[in-house]
A = this chain, B = another copy of it.
Amino acid sequence: MQKINFSQTKLAYLAGLLDGDGSIYARIKKRNDCKYNLHISPCVVFFQSLKARNNFVLIFKEFNFGYHRQRKDGMLEYIINKQEDIYNFLTILKPFIILKNQQLKIMLEIIEIKRLPNTKKNFDYNLSLAKKLKKLNYSNT
**Residues of A near any B CB (own CB < 8 A):** 8-22, 46, 48-52, 55-56, 58-59, 74, 96, 98-101, 136, 139-141
Contacts of A51 in B (CB 8 A): 136, 139-141
Taken together, the copies of this chain in the complex come to: 2
Q: Mostly helix, strand, loop or mixed at chain A's interface?
A: helix
**A80 vs B99: C-alpha distance when bound (angstroms):** 20
Residue in A11, A13, A22, A96 whose Cβ sees the most chain B Cβ within 10 Å: A13
Contacts of A17 in B (CB 8 A): 16-17, 19-20
Contacts of A98 in B (CB 8 A): 13, 55, 58-59
**A50 vs B136: C-alpha distance when bound (angstroms):** 11
Q: A16-B19, A55-B101 are in contact. Are A140 and B50 (CB under 8 A)?
A: yes
**A109 vs B79: C-alpha distance when bound (angstroms):** 35
Residue in A11, A51, A96, A136 whose Cβ sees the most chain B Cβ within 10 Å: A51
- A136 to chain B minimum Cβ distance, whole angstroms, is 7
Smallest CB gap from A137: residue in B: B51
Contacts of A22 in B (CB 8 A): 20
